[in-house]
Structure 1
Amino acid sequence: MSGKRNSARAVAQREIGPVEFLKAVHGDDFAGVQALFVLPTKQTAFFDHTQWSVLGDEIERLKGENDLYGVIGTQQKRLSARSRGSIATVRQVSGLFVDVDFAVMKNSAKRYVADAAAAAVIREGLPLPPSAVVSTGNGEHWHWFLDRPFVIEHPDELEAAKRVTAAFSRHMQAIFRERGAEIDAVGDITRAFRLPGTLNLKGGAKKPVVLLAFDPAKRYRLAEIERIITPPAAPPTRPARKRRPSDGFGQADHEEIRRGCSWYELKTGDGVATASEPEWFAAASITACCRDGEEIFHAYSGAHSGYDQSEAQKKFQRAVEADAPRTCESIEIDLGHDGCLACPYHGRIKSPVQIGSGPRQYSPGEEGPIPLGYSRDGTFALRDPVRNIIIPASAQQLLSSQWLQGVAPSSFWGRQFRDDRRPFNAAAAGEALIAACKRAGPFDPLEVRGRGVWVEEREIVLNLGGPIREGLKRQYLCFKPISLPPDASFDTRRLADLLEQFKFRDTKNARLLFGWLAIAPICGVLDWRPHCFVFGPPKAGKSTLHGLATALLTPLAISTTGDSSEAGIRQAIGPDSLPVIIDEFESDQRQGRLKSIIMLARSASSGDTPILKGTPDGKAMQFSLRTTFFFSAINPTGLSPADASRILLFELLMHENDQEAARRITTDLAYFADSGPRWCAFMASKALLIAPARLAFEAEMPGMDSRLRTNIATLLGAGFVALHGRVPTKDEAVTEVAEFASTTAEHADVVDRDDAVEALHHLLAYPIGSTSLGQWIARERRDRMEIGDKDTRPSAQFLASLDIAMNIKNKEPGFFLLRGAPGIDKIFRDTKWADGTWMHAIRKYEGAFTPSNPVYFSNMKRKARAIGIKFDILPDPTEAPSEPECGSRGGLFPEY
């Protein structure tokens, strides 16, 4: 025996961390999922037996500022972050446990043991000494490890586990009473316990939670436990009672009532300790209507300052026999609960019991579809946990047995919705799914994330097929897993030097391309995603760079050619956040196809607008794109200025047959050929640094277009983080911004042209009467071509009033804007082009020109200097514009 004591002391003397302690409690390969409960956030995360390292990281992250608890019973499945699970869904009961409070640490009327010394005296007299003793800061937790945990497969096994743990608790309470002391009743199988190696923060002081004794080999057989406990007396038989306001349904669900009634949630949760006697009894009257009501009542009542098990049992019995659960009206008026008026059930039900007494509840288990909510078009969204896709379904589909069997086997539905004549009751299953989706609320596709690297509230989420922490706000899908190595080291300097071996027209663009390679694996983390377009003559190195990018971004990249269609690329990406690399994006291919892909890239820059493709046959939804593109081609013609403001152009020149440079490039390409997984893992480890690095550079780039600033700062920031592993200092940002000033100015020319297009679009889209100004000009141009000049036409007179002139057949065809025209000034009022700055912007448009001679304006009856615009920008004329009426939107010009 002394050897065992010495062994236990030796184990306790070395530091036992929270994870090792939990392994001793549950076993390395436990059933179900274990819970990590966090205060003060009241959040719970769940981990299965493969996630010990993830659990350890989470404990390490949280333990400094939170109270952390394990739970003695594991749950069947992962639950929401707001739930610790219920007794009914326990999967494994891993041991027995008592909570010993010290009188010196608690201001209570209860007769707690005086201190640790008094507790030790009682502990040493126990017939079965505990396997572990944990000092909590206010007392001690004693644990008894089982040689075989209760693994719950059937209802009778759950009842057996509940019976043993409740009886053991009563036995320990009796032992303490014999010694003139008390302990709280903690006999339920969802009891939480503190983790050694963490802190007790209650009361403000940080008290360490310390393992005082620990012998993981000291495990007890169930027969040993049952020999010392007194079996609970069989409850007296009593006539079946009548049902209450929930007539026609089975016993109510305690957790459903808590979710639906704010008063009941408070009085059976945080508000138990301060509940008055009437409030406590009112809660008992509702709990008495619930499945496992007696056990649930004692579990939450243990936190009440006046709790005594025998007295509480009498109170609960009175609630059962009274057969009258507290009504909503009484809770609102007699108990004064303010939240009743905001309750969605207000005026619709008589008692909170009815919230948990509805039709059969749906449980997705491991293979059933998970209800996510409903959409605006009347469909319901469900997640298929096996295929890891989200499925939209109509009510008609959900009520169809064939559709239901398409997402889960009939045996699954039959277990929950039995029908003696058919494999299962499809109508009941469908109604339960619809109700569950309605409870989940509106479904937001923007909250869906596919494969890739993401960020959620300053936490990096690597959604590549590995375990994802429960309790995250968004839905994470991974249809096909992607593997990255755990090693996050990379020779970034060698990669940056390799890019500088290529002959860019502006050598600084090599560093910007390096920045793009850095953001590409983690593009889902970014609020704004720049794209790049490498172009140049044949044999300038475009295909080599394409191959390098593909190698570095494998396995996260989607690599293709310009023959691909926009629809094909969009479907390949889906909800994923993976970079897209397109080679041979040539202008001699079908322009419509190329333009549609460019438009796709534009929408992916911010990715805030969802693309919903719900179909009646249950295909997976598609979502907003969050990706970044790499294009390469001989030339980038066909890009509009608006496109070029999102896609940075990097021009390559013909190389000079430098053999030394060629050998170095060849050697480095071979070195990086299979380094994609390491590069992606490396940048994933640095993802949280990109945003602050970008902001550091943006702060030193005032006075320029915001989109250009974000583009350049993002690439500079990502490149700096990749090279240095940190955010730049202010001085470093100032120096680098100055070094890239000329490069930034080159890219700014493209943005200025985009500003010109936006200004012209604003002018031409301006509503005049029932149509746009662009239509007025287009119609007048067509009429002049078909009929000839005719100043009496309403459109001609109207355009003249705005000081807009037009030439059709002379050597400078186009329409002309009078510089400083008052009517055009009014159109640009309250925009960034107000006060005449529209003239400066529009002159930068590629189709703008300065007429060689002054232009005649009929409204002024003289010639004047003007800005000429080629007709290419005009829309096709549709119906004849209606004349603007006085007081209409065209009331800027009331004379018409």
Structure 2
Amino acid sequence: MTFDLDTIRRTNPLSATIGGRIALTRNGGEWLGLCPFHQEKTPSFTVNEAKGFYHCFGCGAHGDVISFIADYHSLDFRAACRLLGGESEDSAATPHQSQGREPVATTPDPYADLTAADSGTREIAAGQAVRCWNPKRPDRPWVTYRPSLVFPYRDKDGGLIGYVLRIDLADGRKITPQIRHARLPDGTHAWTHWAFDRPRALYNLPELAAHPGHQVLVVEGEKAAEAARRLFAGLPLAVTCWPGGGKAARHADWSVLQGRSVVLWGDADQPGEEAMLGWHDRQELWHDGVAQLCHMAGAKTIRFIPWDHDKPAGWDAADAECGGMMADELLAWLSARVRNWQAPMPAPATTMPQEEAAPYAADAEIPLPPYDGPEIPLHEHASDRSADAPPFRILGFNKGLYYYYPRASQQVVALSAAAHSKAHLLTLAPLAYWAQHHPGRNGFDLDAAADALINAAHRVGLFTADRLRGRGAWRDNYEDGRARIVVHTGPVAYIDGRAYDPAVVTGEYVYEASPALTLKPSEPAGTAEANRLVQICKRLCWENSLSGDLLAGWCVIALICGVLAWRPHIWITGPAQAGKSTVLKDIIGRVVGFFALYMDGKTTEAGIRQLLGSDARPVILDEAESEDQAAAQRMQQILDLARVSSSGGTVVKGSTAGKPITYTLRACFCFSSINTAVSHYADETRISKLVLRKNDAPEADKHYRQLTDDIDSWFTPDYAAPMLARSIAHIEVLLKNAETFKTAAARILHSRRAADQIGTMLAGLYLCYSTKAISVEDAEAWIKERDWHDHTALGAVGDETRLLERLATRRLRVPTAAGIREVTVGQAIMAVHGNPDSYGDWAAELGANGFRLDGDHVLIANNASPLKKLLEGTPWAADWLRPLRMLPGAEAAPNTYFSPGLRSRATRLPVKLLGMENESEAVKGADPASASRSAISA
């Protein structure tokens, strides 16, 4: 098959054919445009109609109209000729041939005589002079570059393929050639202008291959990729791009993304959007973008960042980094805008089938989670009542800082008076806004703008950190005072079932954007569906069946912990193989998983506090053991945090900047371990222990299989959203029932703290049975039927009594007729109190340790080294005076002599607090030896 190439070239003018596919502008005797074969922002692609060829000074692309069509549409020579209207002929002679004219041959391949060669140890660095051979310029093939940036491309095993260089030209343009090490026709080796073999490797390919579980962020250009890698270092996120520019994505090998989650982020301009999502050329031919290519490669999920028209043209990750954007700020910006991409047709049969991911695994919160809200930009959503609202809100001032809420970033910005610089003001609003409102010579009048902002902040008034609210469910009010529930998922705030941009939710509180929690708006679950949670929880093997009820109630209320007046905590405990993992992963993980924070026992209090920030979310802490003193201390700090969170208290921490950081905690905690670390009364009254036992029944395995089958069948990925919607839809009834159950429990248990602890969980449990309000009488009847000692601190003693027990059980070495023996402090006090004349040596030993008998009272030193040593590692190590004074009958005693070298003020306690007044009579008249034996045997 042959073609009349002259006719093809003559009937397809070069400038018209190329101009139908890319934008060209007249530049003297040539046409100039952006090269379609590599990425560039300043044009270096020229079309010379008179000479009949195009040439790119950036990547070296060169040829006639046929080679352009072949490269642009990824066609072979014959297909390109057919597309241009060339008449195909049989191998028989054509009229031209019969006249003795041979078909015109194709353009010789300038790379035919080149052979790829190993570069060895020769590598290129930025700023280093690089001498390159360009086979498309036979007249002057050698050129020396000094690249400002160098980007190596490697195969999946790390072998060097070649480099993309960034060359900054004197006229402000740049070129980004691909170069490879090659053996030249004369046998020498050199770096060569030679595009990588197709399909071309993706940038950063070894990291992509090494972390197949990481989400992939695809950006446009190597400079942007490197900036994104630096910004998101440490996150489970692999960053890549492709060589050759926007229109060259089709030449890359995307198969490495098979089965992976992909997010596409193009430059903020039309070419960037087209490169990612595809485009029609001027002849209405469709060209696939990166999204379609990833889809054909079998990517599991594909999401994209829409073009943000508020950003400067071409804005990308490198510009974000240069502008001072921090990682968390950029992550929030991306998460607020990420959208799902849907293929226009079913995937080809060759694509990898999508596997159903475990939606509530501990690492399910990936850097750029899916967005399931409105598919149009939020600032254009119908619920945004102020389309022409200013680009930021002025929140007020506090202690020399001025607070603003930009709609673009949706995160509060705090500026000192001196920090109202041009760069910082541009983070609040684009340059056009400032130029319009405060015109000046250099864009805008900075002093006038800063003055207006500061004075406006003064008029607004004080702003405090407790007005900030993160993700979770919150109780709030409309501007007219009506109550409302706000469910904040990060990029979206749901109010009355409608999605709002957090920046336009006005009122007393400010909702900051955060990485998205995956939440699909849903209809409320029905009662039968909700009751399945109770059925599953009760089928576990518990020490007390009431634990299943409380677990179900906790799962319901944990989702709305920010709304509650009291947040109860639970501790799942039991021996190995008892089912703790089933509770955490298969029940709690599926019912509250998309809202919860998952951590293990090595997590610190500071880590939890900083991750929570201003969020109201459940915290799941697995392996919360206290194997050694360091682990016990770390766990006690977390328990202290949970204690504060119960009532929604505020924690204030200092910072290196000298400014206090405030945390208002509203989290429901769930701990899990074999052994519990709860030892203080204040913790026992806030944490319900739910104890599992190992099922040793003959049909235990069958029971477990049936249970897990029902969990898989009932607790689908869509189960949690309807359960949350049920709680929100009936929130007033739920909160009213919580107060009713608290009232009923307080009457029966005679403990307000115990009532607070179980009342809210019982309200959550009751919502699984009914959406109606319960009466106090019915609540009392339900509570009376059950034994609550296993789930409340009804039998627990206060910390002051525990301190006295700790002191009384301290062991002393005392003299007896049989020699030196050990007795407890309590036993020694008993003996000395009953017969002080016979126990002078024992009294001396007590005095040396900070104890002294005074009639029917015992004095305990307020400051004594032996006591301090005894109480090391306990909550009373620094202060045992205050809790001792809380005991009944305690009173202060003046400066008292205890022992040589030990004189101190003291606390006087009745001996009867030790429960020994009757026992002391039994040892009266006994000799120290017999008393000692009696005490020890006791």
TM-score range, shorter chain: 0.3 to 0.5
TM-score by length of 1: 0.45
Q: Give 1 or 2: higher strand fraction.
A: 2
- Give the TM-score normalised by the residue count of structure 2: 0.43
Whichever structure has more helix as a proportion of its residues is 1
Select the structure with the greater relative contact order (CA < 8 A; seq sep ≥ 6): 1
Bigger-Rg structure (1/2): 2
